[in-house]
Amino acid sequence: MKRYQVAARGATDLSTYLRRYPYLARYIQQVATEVGVPQFLGQDVPGDLKKAVKVNVVYTVDDGVFIHVYTPPRGTESGYRKYVVVEPPKPPPELLRAVEEKLAAVLTERDAASSLTERREVLMRALGRVIEVVDTPVNYRDLLSGGLGKLRRIPVYSADYQNLLYHLVRDKAGLGVLEPLLKDRYIEDIYCNGVGYVFIVHKVFGPLETSLHFSTQEELDRFIIELSERVGKPVSHARPIVDATLPDGSRINIVFGSDVSLRGSSFTIRKFSKIPMSVTELISLGTMDEYVAAYLWILLLEGMSGFISGETASGKTTTLNAITAFIRPTAKIVSIEDTAEIQLPHENWLRELTRDTGSVETSVTMFDLLKAALRQRPNYIIVGEIRGAEGNVAFQAMQTGHPVLSTFHAASVERLVQRLTSPPINVPITHIDNLNFVVIQSAVYREGVLMRRVISVNEIVGYDPKAKSVIYIPIYTWDPARDRFTFRGRGTSYLLEEKIAVARGIPRREMGLIYDELNLRAKILKSLVERRVFNYYDLFRVIARVYSMVDAKAKASPKEETPYAIIKALEEALARIRRGELVK
């Protein structure tokens, strides 16, 4: 019934779109004979389509830009479903040429723009000076042959104006043919592996082959050179590999030329949302449950150091971004990254990026930034990813009382320890216990659908000199058979009992209080999920209010009564959330 309702609602919307955008009507008429009339979804793609065997849908990603995803008919399969971009048709080439020539004549060095946003503003202002929209058709070929110098403004037929505007903005102030893909919030990754089609990873439909295609190496090289210049890091044969951040925050890696890539130039884009995913969203998606999240909440509240570890594309950075909302709202945080991926809601946040100039004297590395961070008195240091010698400095920071959070490439605690204690990181194995916890995350397939799951949450206890190994406790583990998380049980958490409870002055006979607090925080998060408080910043505001309630209760109580005051404050916060008071 649910799918039928979506289709029925979409049918009305589709007729409206077909009247408004004739090129969409022409496209659907063209493909209908091959794959049938697609179902129109509007702006939202239902998650239940993940399990669909055969797909034929259209959705919109921007005004006048549509995406058609379909399963190819039998006999034409390449193993991939197709992702076709349907956008406004290109205006007549003579019109484009005329407008570009006129723009080149009116733009000067004073119109130089430092960002794509500024470039769009400059373009729109200049366009208003060089064109005039008219209601009668224009013969642009005769216009060119007659000479543009005589014309103060170029007449543009109203039917061509929107198409001209779209393609000028896309190509001159955007990232060209990639622009529709970057606007599609359902895309996770974009791959171009050389001449041929561009591929993507879709959040609902998985790997797809797009309609974007580079026919020759020269065409691809030209596009990549322009792309690298627009993001401020030009590639060349002398500098063929570039990592950069796109204007929307996505991360791009470019490899230029055939010297270092046998298939020629290539690029990979890791997309990131402007608003990070929240912990409540991760809970609703099953990445973790409310008890795992509540446990991490307590650890970050008490300044524990931890790594989010896993293989590539396992969702490490997404989880790191999500759980940083648990850090006290008043904390000073310093983040250090190669490319800007970390997004925090805290006001007192210092964001630092490395600088690669190709010169040892002028480049600024993560090692340099991490050393500088130790002098900035942060409550938390967040490192985008530890890969090299900065790992050693991170452990020195932990030893001197600076909590550190980071992502790390390792699929298990054992492999994490191996990498940390080997070159180029070289952390002494006896120092590993400065790291308090390790979250192991992975991308898994269930019923043919790709999902992210926290495989385990591990407490680092210490180093055993007899066994010459690091002792750790998997306090939470994921059960793949039931897709549920298993808690080791009360009385088993080293961090909760031996570190946090001791620091709070909770006596051994009342150790159950720390687990009661864990359960209450889990109930708070579950209630927020039930009330669909999924926006990252909305959730942070609720957590900040909970912190205020707990702090007020704790300060008004005698020191020996503080653990009980925390419990009472959390109970009150839970009741207010259930009544809808704290989530307004």
3-state secondary structure 400-446: CCCCEEEEEECCCHHHHHHHHCCCCCCCCHHHHHHCCEEEEEEEEEE
Q: Are residues 309 and 358 in the same domain?
A: yes
Longest dimension (CA), the chain: 95
Instruction: Report DSSP state, residue 495.
Output: I
Residue with tokens 């022409």: 26
Q: Are residues 43 and 109 in the same domain?
A: no
Q: Are residues 80 and 137 in the same domain?
A: no
Domain-embedded: residue 343? yes
Rg over CA atoms, the chain: 28
Domain-embedded: residue 468? yes
Q: Are residues 38 and 3 in the same domain?
A: yes
Token code pair at residue 392: 């050693």
Q: Are residues 319 and 442 in the same domain?
A: yes
Q: Are residues 498 and 548 in the same domain?
A: yes
Domain-embedded: residue 219? no
Q: Are residues 137 and 9 in the same domain?
A: no
Half-sphere exposure of 339 (CA within 13 A, CB side): 20
Q: What is the mean pLDDT, run by run of 10 residues, along the chain of 584 residues?
A: 36 74 93 91 86 91 93 78 95 86 80 74 86 86 68 85 90 90 92 95 92 95 92 88 84 90 91 87 94 98 96 91 96 90 93 80 86 91 89 89 94 95 92 96 83 96 91 96 93 95 90 96 97 95 96 88 92 95 84
Q: What is residue 42's three-state secondary structure?
A: strand
Q: What pLDDT, in 10s, does the model give residues 532-581? A: 999 999 999 999 999 999 999 988 888 888 889 999 999 999 999 999 99
Distance CA 308, CA 315 (A): 9
Domain-embedded: residue 142? yes
Rounded to two decimals, what is the model's pTM? 0.79
Domain-embedded: residue 559? yes
Distance CA 104, CA 488 (A): 68
Q: Point out the domain boundary residue: 156, 174, 192.
A: 174
What's the angle, vertex CA 487, arms to CA 483 and CA 490, rounded to 5?
165
Q: Are residues 77 and 107 in the same domain?
A: no
Q: Are residues 324 and 403 in the same domain?
A: yes
Residue with tokens 């990979």: 268
Quote the pLDDT of residue 12.
45
Q: Are residues 39 and 140 in the same domain?
A: no
Distances (CA, A) of 117 to 224, 232, 404, 517: 20, 14, 35, 47
Quote the pLDDT of residue 9.
41
Buried b (16+ CB within 10 A) or exposed e, 180-200: bbbebebbbbbebbebebbbb
Long-range interactions of 244-248: CB distance < 8 A, separation 24+: 244/339, 245/339, 245/340, 246/175, 246/182, 247/115, 247/116, 247/117, 248/182, 248/272, 248/274
- The domain in which residue 50 lies consists of 1-87
Q: Point out the domain boundary residue: 174, 199, 221.
A: 174
Number of domains observed in the structure of the chain: 3
Domain-embedded: residue 47? yes
Q: Are residues 349 and 480 in the same domain?
A: yes
Quote the pLDDT of residue 360.
76
Quote the pLDDT of residue 460.
97
| Cβ–Cβ < 8 Å for 154, 143 | yes
Domain-embedded: residue 540? yes
Domain-embedded: residue 195? no
Distance CA 103, CA 85 (A): 28
Q: Are residues 322 and 382 in the same domain?
A: yes
Q: Point out the domain boundary residue: 114, 149, 174.
A: 174
> What CATH number did the domain enclosing 479 receive?
3.40.50.300
